[in-house]
Structure 1
Amino acid sequence: MLCRSADLIAEARTSGSGIAAFNVITLEHVQAVVEAAQRTGRPAIVQISHNVVRHYGGDVMPLAAATTAAAASSRARLALHLDHVEDVALLHRTAQCGASSVMYDASRMPDEENIAATRAAARWAHEHGLFVEAELGEIGGKGSAHLPGVRTDPGDAARFVAETGVDALAVAVGSSHAMITRTAALDLDLISRLRDEVPVPLVLHGSSGVPHATLRVAVEHGMTKINVGTLLNVAFTRAVREALADAPDLVDPRRCLTLARGAMTEAVADCLTALAPPGPPRRGRFPGCP
């Protein structure tokens, strides 16, 4: 069923379980998230990034339509989110494409310009009933999240949230975008201090590089939304390589894509299981879901 991101995030924050958010590129990515969420009984957020929209010629609607259709026909509780949106034009497509939340990314700008642009984006989004995530400073991929200079300062983060009015904040605590090995070391003390200073849910980008056990501990220290993308792509491409190595003359892509979808489903299920709280999955009706 298609839910609101705000409700899934609020539930995760209240329960201390965390909510996994998976970046998708193809229909197979979407199907993997849906199948894994159904299998584990865990909610999830499906994310389409601005880079993926560029890959599809600047049109978010086809992949978004496929995602919302898959979510609506699923037993799992799923929400659609637009990730790392860098311009107002795509921001303004958020509600039209069926997403209930957006990460507006002005972090490449100087701090004061980031604040002004994010404040305007949040104001517009709230007028349209959307949940807004933003980012202060750099998270790996734009620098190095392993350097002290790109850790998020709790005081700066609290000020940023107060001045912009965003609903969630992505913070730099040691993870990095596009990691293909799970070797990132998170600053758990910093996460706790950010949780105490910042009044909105915290978001961990670059979670593909963080071991599952560390992600669980990060949630216990105050992280709520856990973004995962590269982990799915690693599973996808490994499965395709193995399929082509086993059958060099293979020309029908469906065999490769079927194997890739299965590999991604397992990767997503592992993440969802790692973040699940003790006890059976919750059932029944939830706010923001049919």
Structure 2
Amino acid sequence: MRLQDKFIELRSKRQGILATNFYNYETLEGVVLAAKLSNQPIILQLTRSSIEYMGLPVAFNLAKSMLEHHKIEGWVHLDHGNSYDLIAECLDIGFDSVMIDASEQSFKDNIRITSKVVKLAEKYGANVEAELGYIAKLGQSKQTCGFTTPEDARAFVDATGVNALAIAIGTAHGFYDKEPKLDLERLSNISKVTDATLVLHGSSGIPENSLKAAISRGITKINLATEIKNIFMKSLKTQLRTTDNIDLREVFPSATDKIVGLVTDKLEIVKNP
């Protein structure tokens, strides 16, 4: 099933799907094992930096082979793609979905850039995600406000034909200084005026009740990245303080297990909002 068709199915049930970034074999294994244990579909996400770290063929084939080995319904997605060339490379190798992030451009340029990617992806039958509004990235101010408006969302989707849209309703990438307050009323209004799949970036640190409320009001895709890196590295640091064991095959699995627990809990939230 194409990812865009899966989105339609989930939206009809008011359910969500978890989209998790991975960074190496161990973080990927933790995510996939959680999906297997939960019997839930999963979206595996790669950013440019992760692709540069592992290499595009290695990263993509690792994700695909893990899904096939564990018999998991899943898709591979490019997260925050910021160049046409990278997106073309990912589509050529077989990505199911790509994101073009031109959100820092003007509204007009965002439409122009996104439309070009949508046209390219049509040849592959791939899903395309874009971003509209200000969702603070790592290192950017979380105080800046630039929420997505229903009017802009409708105009943007109509003009580009994009399948999925990441919207700004109060989240940010990375850690939060204080608990974020989602503009759920704005989300409801956006959901009413567009048929595009709505995406929540920056879900790490969002309370369970807020995630459930967001799904019930129209969010379908929930992105998770920071918490995965955090729990894996914290677990490793704790172990390395108390052991001289240099066999990473014996040290890494317990950190992977922490990811399994984290992602299992998140999968339960999106399944039963």
TM-score, normalisation: structure 1: 0.88
Distance 2:164 2:203 in 1: 16
Whether 2:264 is the aligned partner of 1:269: answer yes
Distance in 2 between the 1:214 and 1:91 partners?
Answer: 32
Quote the residue 2:125 is aligned against: 129
Is residue 152 of structure 1 aligned with residue 148 of structure 2? yes
Letter paired with 1:184: P
1:74 to 70, 77, 84: 70
Measure how far apart 1:182 and its partner are.
7.7
Deviation for aligned residue 1:4:
3.2
In structure 2, distance between residues paired with 1:19 and 1:100: 15
Which residues of 2 match residues 177-192 of structure 1 at below 5 A? Answer: 177-179=173-175, 183-192=179-188
TM-score normalised by L of structure 2: 0.94
Aligned counterpart for 2:224 among listed residues 228, 240, 247: 228
Please state if 1:196 is matched with 2:158: no
Whether 1:175 aligns to 2:171 is yes
Aligned to 1:28: 26
- Give the Cα separation in 1 of the matches to 2:9 and 2:151: 26
Report the Cα offset of residue 204 of structure 1. Answer: 0.3
Provide runs of 4+ in structure 1 moved above 6 Å: none
Q: Which residue of 2 aligns with 1:11?
A: 9
Match of 1:62 among 37, 58, 79: 58
Q: In the TM superposition, what whole-angstrom CA distance separates every residue of 1:151-185 from its partner, at most 9, and x where no partner exists?
A: 11110111111111100100011111012678222
2:259 is the counterpart of 1:251: no
Cα distance per residue 1:5-54 (max 9 Å; x no partner): 22332222111111110011111111111110111111111111122223
Contact 1:43 1:76 survives alignment (8 Å): yes
8 A Cα contact 1:65 1:98, kept in partner: no
Question: Percent identity at matched positions?
Answer: 32
Distance change >3 Å, CA 237–CA 144, structure 1 → 2 = same
Aligned positions of 1:205-216 closer than 5 A: 205-216=201-212
Q: Partner amino acid for 1:22?
A: T
Number of residues of Structure 1 aligned to a counterpart in Structure 2: 272
Letter in 2 for 1:194: I
The RMSD of aligned alpha carbons is 1.8
Report the AA paired with residue 31 of structure 2. Answer: V
Equivalent residues of 1:8, 1:19 under 8 A apart: no
1:133 Cα deviation from its structure 2 partner = 0.4
2 CA distance for matches of 1:181 and 1:251?
36
Q: Provide the rounded CA distance (Å) in 2 between the counterparts of 1:99 and 1:180.
A: 31
Q: CA deviation at 1:97?
A: 2.9
Deviation at 1:145, TM superposition (A): 5.1
Return 5+ residue gaps in structure 1 as ranges: 279-290
Letter matched to residue 135 of structure 1: E
In the alignment, which of 9, 29, 39 is matched to residue 41 of structure 1?
A: 39
Q: Whole-Å Cα distance in 2 between the matches of residues 186 and 109 of structure 1?
A: 24
SS of structure 1 residue aligned to 2:91: coil
